[in-house]
């Protein structure tokens, strides 16, 4: 990092906000790593939608002492990642909020590195900072929970290796973006006129290795508290809420830059428990994008056309990904077809019925 003069005002505080559901083993480990930070949080806020949340609270509370960070343990109204995130944000007091997943494992100096970025940004050019995901776990850390898998062992291995195989050449990297649609530009519709591109802004007063990005992934988000309060996560989403992070952080970009801090290292464990099946996740991910577009568009006819263009391209992309990953049941392809079936209704339902109707649609898909 560049040696630039830090802001001379009082140090910023930070809070860790975690939404969790039935993953107590990884939750305990992620909290222990947060407590061991070289710059600990002032508090850890947990929104736990698990049926046995009281027992979880008792297990987690054993990790805390009177002299350390405070624990705020909340019971959400329903299991919804976005509702749980908003509940934790509303209860948190830190200047900076780390909205990490319950299976985000922090390296010891992660918080210190990220907070130094905010504190050097005296002009508040930056709205949110993403942590840098590492392939390896922090040294000496072990987690007993199972990782996410994809069907049979053979298909899981093929799926894990797909990206590496495709991106082995310049043509492959182009195909990864434009055919497989594995870039932020092809995950959501830019519904308020700001393109999904990397912003060109002067960062000379900041560390020179920061990477401006259009959106952040949910397991890696830190954000200024005032920005998070202005741009809440979509409350109508249920369960795992695919694409909720892209939508919220795209709106964070209304208030400043989004950057990745390479020195703020984490490992996303990707625990298996608490996730939904590929077909449902694909369908809900696309339908959520339709819902975001309907809710926030400043030019709905134009952005609705952009959504249908994206949807049509995803048909081929998901078919190819299923095929190359040897998922012979074609869950992502079928999930895309399911989204195509329901998407027109997202744009037709009257505004006063949209939220309740969309929540009911999600419940039907999750129960199918």
Q: How do residues 81-91 score in pLDDT, each as one tens digit?
A: 999 999 999 99
Domain match, 338 and 207 both:
no
pTM to 2 decimal places: 0.90
Answer positive or negative: Cα dihedral of 355, 361, 365, 368.
positive
pLDDT of residue 79: 93
Tokens of 303: 């952005």
Average pLDDT over residues 197-226: 80
Boundaries of domain holding 18:
14-144+192-268
Domain match, 262 and 282 both:
no
177: confidence class by pLDDT, cuts 50, 70, 90: confident
Residue 52 maps to a domain:
yes
Residue 1 maps to a domain:
no
154: confidence class by pLDDT, cuts 50, 70, 90: very low
Domain match, 198 and 233 both:
yes
User: Can you list the alpha helix ranges (DSSP code H) found in 121-178?
Assistant: 153-166, 170-178
Residue 178 maps to a domain:
no
37: confidence class by pLDDT, cuts 50, 70, 90: very high
pLDDT of residue 169: 77
Domain match, 204 and 281 both:
no
pLDDT digits (tens, 9 = 90+) for 256-312: 999 999 999 999 998 776 678 999 999 999 999 999 999 999 999 999 999 999 999
pLDDT of residue 149: 55
Domain match, 132 and 28 both:
yes
Residue 181 maps to a domain:
no
Domain match, 88 and 228 both:
yes
pLDDT of residue 164: 65
Domain match, 345 and 253 both:
no
pLDDT of residue 181: 79
Domain final residue, candidates 213, 248, 268: 268
Domain match, 63 and 137 both:
yes
Residue 71 maps to a domain:
yes
Tokens of 33: 């790593």
152: confidence class by pLDDT, cuts 50, 70, 90: very low
pLDDT of residue 150: 46
Residue 180 maps to a domain:
no
Question: What CA–CA distance (Å, rounded) separates 84 from 48?
Answer: 8
Percent above pLDDT 70 for the chain: 88
CATH number at 140 reads: 3.90.550.10
Domain final residue, candidates 242, 268, 294: 268
pLDDT digits (tens, 9 = 90+) for 61-102: 999 999 999 999 999 999 999 999 999 999 999 999 999 999
Q: Is the pLDDT score of 227 beyond 90? A: yes
1: confidence class by pLDDT, cuts 50, 70, 90: very low
Domain match, 319 and 246 both:
no
Domain match, 107 and 199 both:
yes
Question: What CA–CA distance (Å, rounded) separates 304 from 295?
Answer: 11
Question: What CA–CA distance (Å, rounded) separates 14 from 168?
Answer: 39
Question: What CA–CA distance (Å, rounded) separates 129 from 9?
Answer: 20
């Amino acid at each position: 990092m560049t040696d630039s003069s830090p802001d001379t005002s009082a140090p910023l505080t930070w809070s860790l906000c975690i939404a969790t559901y039935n993953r107590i083993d990884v939750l305990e480990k992620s909290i222990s790593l947060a407590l061991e930070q070289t710059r600990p949080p002032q508090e850890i806020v947990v929104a736990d939608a698990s049926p046995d949340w009281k027992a979880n609270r008792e297990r987690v509370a054993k990790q805390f002492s009177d002299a350390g960070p405070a624990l705020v343990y909340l019971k959400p109204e329903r299991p919804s990642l976005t509702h749980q995130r908003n509940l934790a944000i509303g209860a948190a007091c830190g200047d900076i909020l780390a909205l990490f997943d319950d299976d985000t494992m922090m390296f010891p100096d992660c918080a210190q590195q990220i907070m130094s970025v905010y504190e050097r940004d005296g002009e508040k050019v930056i709205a949110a900072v993403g942590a840098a995901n590492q392939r390896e776990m922090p040294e000496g850390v072990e987690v007993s929970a199972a990782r996410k898998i994809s069907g049979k062992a053979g298909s899981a291995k093929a799926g894990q290796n797909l990206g590496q195989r495709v991106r082995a050449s310049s043509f492959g990297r182009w195909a990864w973006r434009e055919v497989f649609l594995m870039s932020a530009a092809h995950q959501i519709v830019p519904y308020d006129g700001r393109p999904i591109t990397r912003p060109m802004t002067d960062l000379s007063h900041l560390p020179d290795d920061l990477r401006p990005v259009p959106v952040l992934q949910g397991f890696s988000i830190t954000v200024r508290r005032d920005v998070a309060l202005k741009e809440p996560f979509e409350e109508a989403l249920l369960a795992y809420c695919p694409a909720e992070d892209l939508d919220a952080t795209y709106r964070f970009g209304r208030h400043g830059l989004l950057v990745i801090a390479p020195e703020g290292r984490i490992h996303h464990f990707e625990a298996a428990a608490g996730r939904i099946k590929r077909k449902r996740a694909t369908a809900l991910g696309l339908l959520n994008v339709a819902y975001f577009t309907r809710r926030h568009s400043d030019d709905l006819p134009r952005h609705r056309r952009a959504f249908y263009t994206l949807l049509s391209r995803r048909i081929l992309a998901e078919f190819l990904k299923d095929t190359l990953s040897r998922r012979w049941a074609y869950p992502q392809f079928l999930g895309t077809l399911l989204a195509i079936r329901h998407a027109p209704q997202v744009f037709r339902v009257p505004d006063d019925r949209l939220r309740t109707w969309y929540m009911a649609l999600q419940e039907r898909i999750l129960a199918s």
